[in-house]
Chains A and B, each alone.
Chain A
Amino acid sequence: MNDSAPAIRLTAIDKHFGAVHANRGASLVVRDGEIHALVGENGAGKSTLMKILSGMMPTDSGTIEVHGRDVTGWDTSEAIDAGVGMVHQHFMLVPTLTVAENVVLGREPVSAGRFDRVRAVRDVESLCKQSGLDVPADRLVADLSVGEAQRVEILKLLYRGARVLLLDEPTAVLSPPEVAELWKVLRRLRDGGATIVLITHKLDEVMAVSENVTVMRAGATVEQMRTRDTSPEKIAKAMVGRDVDLTVRAGRSASDPTASAALDVRHLVVRGARVDRAVHDVSFRVAPGEILGIAGVEGNGQTELLEAIAGIRAVTSGEILLGAADITNRSVHTRGEAGLSHIPEDRHRRGLILDYSIADNLIFGQQHQFTSNGILLRDAILDHARSRIIEYDIRPTDPSLPARALSGGNQQKIVIAREMGRAFDVLLAAQPTRGVDVGAIEFIHAEIRKARDAGKAVLLVSAELKEVLTLSDRIGVMYGGRLVAMFSRAEASEEVIGPFMTGAKRELVA
């Protein structure tokens, strides 16, 4: 152990996943006993870097040093033994066990052949007291709130003697009071000598809690700054790679209020998997011949918003109108008939049946139209497939091949062809170009514009801000389940929108 050495020193870390270059010579120095923010846009390589540090995956090249010791190539158990542990976005807790049982699992205190429950509870309670993490040790994890469950995850690391804590987007699932509570805990841990790396893309958090901040962009660590010497503008500039102007104010809704809306969403509230209000009182309208883009960091309610409009997630309150028709509580099928088309965000989970043929996938959700007296019209399905395959340039061209056999781009073209090749008035497009190659991206963008020019209303949700800016006529920003800003295309730019995405600025849209 070398006292003058930093707690963490990552040097020239490189990591490939197939064709994706996730980390490019990334370097990071974290001082002992500080809270260090690691920021960057989606896909900048933050999580990968932390997974490499915590031993979850090996690095392709580069070195990892912890307290001056070269630990390159270690695994998670070695990392934990050396006091380095990570809290993931997805909790790893056994809901039917108590807090204390979860904390000690794997390193249970044993006396006289039995699990020493009393000691486990005592140990966990004293750990709670020391760290300021307040969780009832005897409570079942299933009965905890999300914030409490997160504290259990931190307790698990502390119980294992972790002195370096890596937290991956810890506030994504927390309510504002819980976030405040987390900051208190983290400061207290730091004061007790712990080192904390906080992965985030929210600049308000960086400013609130960190001493130093490292910015990642496109897999590389581009800048390290002292938080008190920097500003959200400077950080945002480093994140996107050019000047950022935070002085421009967001405009009000640019849509013509007198125009009739093809899609009208009013005061929508939708429950999420973990939170009561994943979508929190969201209202907007999309006019025919308009693309409304929703920008925002993933996990801010966009998924739930689109699923609610599509009819696969229940609406808590509010209304959804398609033209003049109230479809709030209508079935997916009825919505489709009423003119709603939907490109879902996850084609592997929802958009395709991977074991179905291309032809069968091209009618998925529209199978009613290719049926006569309950019998599928094979010839019509095949004809339909052949023409769509040509029109949308799907390759390979054999309609009987399973979708599983196609590349991501061609799989997405099946979805696009199906959802845009049909009659519709309103298109929901969620992450329409995710995981597809450049050629397919251009093609998909052109199709979406074509639909708009043909008078369709398009609601676009994308985690790629560039995509939203490229396509949209108006741009809304979601943050924390709310629609926090709305811009006309002319007002919008990465620089203007960025701060709203990260919560650094908010201006609620009525």
Chain B
Amino acid sequence: MSVLLFLAQTLRIAVPYLFAASGGAIAERAGVVSLTLEGFMLGGAFGAVMGAYYTGNAWLGMLCGIAAGLLLGTIHALASIRFRADQVVVGVAINLFSVGITRFFLQLSFGSSSNSPRVVGFGSGSGGGSAAFLANPLVWLGLAVIPVLAFVVNKTRFGLRVRAVGEHPQAAASVGVPVNKVRYIAVIASGALAALGGVYLALDQHQFTDSMTAGRGFIALAAVIFGRWDPLRAGVACLLFAAAETLQIQLQAAQIIPSQFVAMIPYVLTIVAVAGVVGRSTPPAALGKTSE
């Protein structure tokens, strides 16, 4: 029973990572740096709550969250592809902007700087380790998104082009692959996918709280890098990171390992992977390079 509970909790924690990591994987495979996942998630969470608040419908809330992600993704794409701005700077800017704009509208719409009123959502919204969250359709979507993305990246024409564009855009362009178009699609899709991670968080808790994503976008990015930019491996990394968190919550009472050390696991693993101490994690060759 406790094993089931453990799995359930792991899954619950993993869902936003899975969404955001799939967004990160597709954008980075296309060669665009994805420091923006945190901002996309936050925007998605806020959009979902706004939508749910004004329509009274969780599904419409979800669509609003996706729309917010598409909007942020488009900004990222325009700045990085059309204007060839430094993608790291763009990422930092969009994250800052997302924190500010959600707070601003939180204040404007609800007169609060910390949280929204309670809205309709998916699941009971009571939290805890119960398996009731399985009623949340986004959980199932979250579980499906990685395999679907893996299929898209590895088995479709679009995926082949994404991989080509992220590695050697000149070669892709020389055989008529529309490099920028592929990148636009990948980056804007990454906005929507990562936003779904935020939508899940907000509609699971039935409200928006200030900076509620709390660094999950960066854990997702760590999962992408630790997973060597491969969707399936990134998905496994998400589950691994979520399991570590679950373990930490379960062990909290026992105080065996300080929670902060468990929280470090994704980041330390990623650093080790990138430094190549055990099996080098090599990014797509054209990642972050602006074409001149």
Chain A residues within 8 Å of B, Cβ to Cβ: 76-77, 91-97, 101-102, 105-108, 110, 113-115, 117, 156
Contacts and interface: CB of A to CB of B under 8 A. Distances in A.
A366 to B, nearest CB: 32
Interface residues of B, number: 20
A92 B174 contact: yes
A115 B164 contact: no
Contacts of B167: 94-97
Contacts of B159: 115
Contacts of B284: 96
A92 B171 contact: yes
B177 interface: yes
Contacts of A113: 156
A97 B174 contact: no
What DSSP secondary structure best describes chain B's contact surface? Answer: helix
Nearest to A101: B160
A114 B176 contact: no
Contact of B160 (A93, A115, A156): A115
A114 B156 contact: yes
B172 interface: yes
Given A94-B167, A96-B163, A97-B163, A105 B172 contact: yes
Interface in B171-185: 171-172, 174-177
Contact of A105 (B155, B156, B175, B285): B175
Contact of B171 (A76, A77, A94): A94
B181 to A, nearest CB: 13
B250 interface: no
B164 A94 contact: yes
B176 A93 contact: no
Interface in B152-204: 155-157, 159-161, 163-164, 167-168, 170-172, 174-177
A97 B176 CA distance: 16
A377 B167 CA distance: 45
Q: Considering the complex of A and B, which 7 residue pairs feature the smallest CB-CB distances, nearest first?
A: A106-B175, A92-B171, A106-B176, A94-B168, A92-B174, A115-B157, A108-B157
A110 B159 CA distance: 12
Contacts of B163: 94, 96-97
A241 B288 CA distance: 50
B155 A97 contact: no
Contact of B175 (A114, A115, A156): A156
Given A110-B157, A115-B155, A105 B164 contact: yes
B157 A114 contact: yes
Nearest to A108: B157
Nearest to A116: B157
B247 to A, nearest CB: 35
Contacts of A91: 171
Contacts of B175: 92, 105-107, 156
Contacts of B285: 95-96
Residue among B171, B176, B285 having the largest count of chain A Cβ atoms under 10 Å: B171
